[in-house]
Structure 1
Amino acid sequence: MDVSSEIIHSLLPMFMFASLGASATTIGFIEGIAEATAPVVKVFSGALSDYLRNRKWLAVAGYALGALSKPLFAMAPTIGVVVTARVIDRIGKGIRGAPRDALVADVTPPHLRGAAYGLRQSLDTVGAFLGPLLAVGIMLAGSDNYRLAFWIAVLPGLLAVALLAIGIEEPNHAHDTEGTKRANPIRWRGLIELGSGYWWIVAIGAVFSLARFSEAFLVLRAMQSGVPTALVPLVMVAMNVVYALCAYPFGKLADRVSHTRLLIGGLAVLIAADLALAHGTHWGLVVVGVALWGMHMGMTQGLLATMVAQAAPADARGTAFGFFNLFSGGVTLLSSILAGAIWDRVNPAATFYVGAGFCVATILLLASVRQRSHTQP
């Protein structure tokens, strides 16, 4: 599915900008809306997976919806159709995301969860760099034909749905509590029972999301640095190769070191990425910034999932992942809109400077939490 999605996502900002005449503000708004849609849906799909005590078929439904959205990109005559396709695709991601993440925790021993989420992120990212590589090949062979690339992206999406439906079985111990009374997970008491440690992680993730606007702006930065159009998707390839190589080692490291210190390290790397991209008028510096961006992703994304899984009760993990993604995604919407507005009204460099400023704010929050309780990982 990542091969399918990343063929489209690596080309979509250029398609909207060059073919449909969208501004950076419009692209930021579309990306923000799309990325905020999935977390809203994750709340309900995660809670539903807790209530039904079944993860697989919700995931299958989500992957199927994502696959069925792909032809709309190929046929889109206007920005409105692109928005519709992006929202449908992100609804599918929302349906599958929390049940899948909870399923990882269900099948993994607690002392190996950092490694498990790191491995999942790493393998997930393999598709994320194969997709842009295919996009480059299609664009070179097809004389910059965006719509041809979008049509080709339909096939791997359908294959992913078939593989999940046929090849994955729900673990038996996901039904261990079948004899207990089922309750609605989205209720005030249930949210309180998630615990203060969990809600601190949600707050940290939300502030962190202010610093992590849409990666569409990395693509736009590469376009401005003089990279030929057909080669711009290689920017996402570079980011995802680094991401894939870093995610598992740092996931294993998260099982042995302070989560707070590792997260602060990831934020420091993101600051370095923002500074490189702010000065990235040459393609070489853009590549450095993009690689650092991928490194910070490898250091932090599996780590945040591990922190949520460790803090949440076992029978409410779906709900916990859903609300974590809801708050983070809502803030991502605001950060992407803000990034696009700064890009258009000030300059591209200012967008990345502001991102670095939000990183500093997150580090200060983490330092204050650490001072309040030295017992938290």
Structure 2
Amino acid sequence: MYLSANRAADTARGVPRPAAGPAVAGNVLVLGAVSLVTDVSAEMVTAVLPLYLVVGLGMSPLAFGALDGLYQGATALLRLAGGHVADRTERHKLVAGVGYALSAVCKLGLLAVSTPWAVAAVLTADRTGKGLRTAPRDALISLSAPPEGQGRAFGVHRAMDTAGALLGPLVAFGVLWFAHDAYDAVFTVSFCAAAFAVLLLALFVRDVRTRPPRSPAPPGGRGPGSVFRDRGVRRIALTAALLGVFTVGDSFVYLLLQRRLELPAAAFPLLPVATAAGFLLLAVPLGRLADRAGRGRVFLAGHAALVAAYLLLLSPLGGAVPAVLVLFLLGSFYAATDGVLMAAAGPLLPARLRASGMAVVQTAQALARFAGALLFGAGWTYAGPGAALAGAAIGLTLSLAAAGMLGKGALR
């Protein structure tokens, strides 16, 4: 695995280096605001979804595992399409905007369906929007920041994004409380927030050109496959996939905690709040630490925190304190891995392939998590939640050891 920063890579590969200016570029801050509002919308739905499907609509754990995997990874190939189109046209903002708009429309779609697999179809369309927008958005963040500040830029963006993740469940809780468990009210408010995020993107985000006007495209491929010529990118994608297979979806963690604590339905949306709080608190510090100490070390440490969360869930310890600690460790995992992974990949990629390369890494991780969700759902159904979680903990521990060996001598 090669996840350490290469500060000279952008200059060597002909990437335009942003001029000296504010510690964090305005484009990064606006994209953070767009993600904040979008995550309020998305997490309102995500916070109520497990209970709505498993308890409200009677979906089995195996079926929910399939849906959770679909939600995480079935549209992964669209990340490649979104990244390729954004690089090809140099219209990162437009491609991202289409993705944000599609997800907003899907929030209205949830009002029109009432069966588990109809909900699954709408959620797949929603993930299509996320698949289209993620790589172009992350490319804009990377292109707006200097090589040595990639971790900080992604840390600030992810912190703002996570502020939305923190607010979303609270808004869902408030809507359910005042609307007396009316899920339609949650979906309506979610749509309004998503539509506002699209407006912010359209008015304030600016594209970053990857070559001077009227300059011909550089020779060589521009498609996603060409990024595999770089050994470091291949290692990043392989490592993300290896660890992603044993990353249990948040929804399963929340269902396990809900059973342990016997929480009422109205309180279920509060479970993601502690996760978001940990992410929000640590995103910027861990991003800056990754820039200084090595993005690979921070990335692996985040997965170690996830193993600790699994072991705590498997322990006989009861009460609210262990449950809050599990959620905080989950937030720490995201703070140490989500933006750090993109910060590691960015400097390895030329500007003309930035979105495509990031999409390759994201797709490898998403497909692995899709497979992992199916495996975990099947394990829960046929062997019980404890056995499934123990298998995930063992698998992730072994994958961490393999990732460490793969990156031996490359981590700085």
Measured against the shorter chain, the TM-score band is over 0.9
CA distance 1:133–1:23, change in 2 (3 Å): same
Question: Which of the residues 120, 138, 141 maps onto 1:83?
Answer: 120
1:201 counterpart (225, 232, 236): 236
CA gap of 1:221–1:27, structure 2 versus 1, over 3 A, is same
Aligned-residue offset at 1:355: 2.2
**Counterpart mapping for 1:4-19 below 5 A:** 4-19=41-56
What is the root-mean-square deviation in Å for CA atoms of aligned residues?
A: 1.7
User: Counterparts of 2:318 and 2:214 in 1: how far apart (Å)?
Assistant: 59
CA distance in 1, matches of 2:280, 2:237: 25
Aligned with residue 353 of structure 1, among 382, 390, 401 = 390
Residue of structure 2 equivalent to 1:141:
178
**What residue is the counterpart of 2:269 in the other structure?**
233
2:251 aligned with 1:219: no
Of the structure 1 ranges 57-66 and 336-345, higher mean CA displacement relative to structure 2 is found in 336-345
Corresponding residue for residue 3 of structure 2: none
Encode CA deviations 1:270-315: one digit per residue, 9 max, x unaligned: 1111111223764442222111111111111111111111222222
* Cα distance in structure 2, aligned partners of 1:331 and 1:125: 23
Query: Closer, same or farther in 2 for the Cα pair 1:177/1:218, shift >3 Å?
Result: farther
Cα deviations across residues 145-193 of structure 1 (Å, max 9, x unaligned)? 222211221110111111111122223x4443751237752275x2443
| Cα displacement (A) at 1:144 | 1.6
> Shift of the alpha carbon at 1:27?
0.9
Residues 177 and 335 of structure 1: CA distance in aligned 2, closer, same or farther (over 3 Å): farther
Instruction: Say whether the 8 Å CA contact 2:275–2:327 is kept in structure 1.
Output: yes
| Corresponding residue SS for 1:211 | coil
Code of the aligned partner of 1:26: A
**Partner SS state of residue 7, structure 1:** helix
Q: CA deviation at 1:342?
A: 1.4
- CA positional deviation for 1:316: 0.8
TM-score between the two structures when normalised by the length of structure 2: 0.86
Choose from 334, 347, 355 the match for 1:297. 334
Counterpart mapping for 1:176-195 below 5 A: 176=212, 178-181=214-217, 185-186=222-223, 190-193=226-229, 195=230
For structure 1, the 5+ residue unaligned runs are none
8 Å Cα contact 1:5-1:131 kept in structure 2: yes
Shift of the alpha carbon at 1:47?
Answer: 1.0
> Number of paired residues?
372
What residue number does 2:381 align with? 344
Q: Does 1:32 align with 2:64?
A: no
Listed as ranges, the gaps of 5+ residues in structure 2 are 1-37
Q: Counterpart amino acid of 1:179? A: S
Return the letter of the residue paired with 2:258.
M
Q: Secondary structure at the match of 2:292?
A: coil
Alignment partners' CA distance in 2, 1:180 and 1:365: 43
What does residue range 69-108 of structure 1 map to in structure 2 within 5 Å?
69-108=106-145
Matches for 1:357-376 after TM superposition, within 5 Å:
357-371=394-408, 374-376=409-411
Q: Which of 116, 136, 161 pairs up with 1:124?
A: 161
Percent of residue pairs identical = 27
Partner of residue 152 from structure 2, selected from 107, 115, 139: 115
**Residues 228 and 234, structure 2, Cα contact 8 Å, conserved in 1:** no
Paired amino acid for 1:297: Y
Residue 222 (structure 1) shift: 2.6
Residues 217 and 70 of structure 1: is their aligned pair in 2 closer, same or farther, counting only changes over 3 Å? Answer: same
- Summarize deviations over 1:83-134 as a string: whole Å, max 9, x none: 1111110000011100000111111000100111111111101101100001
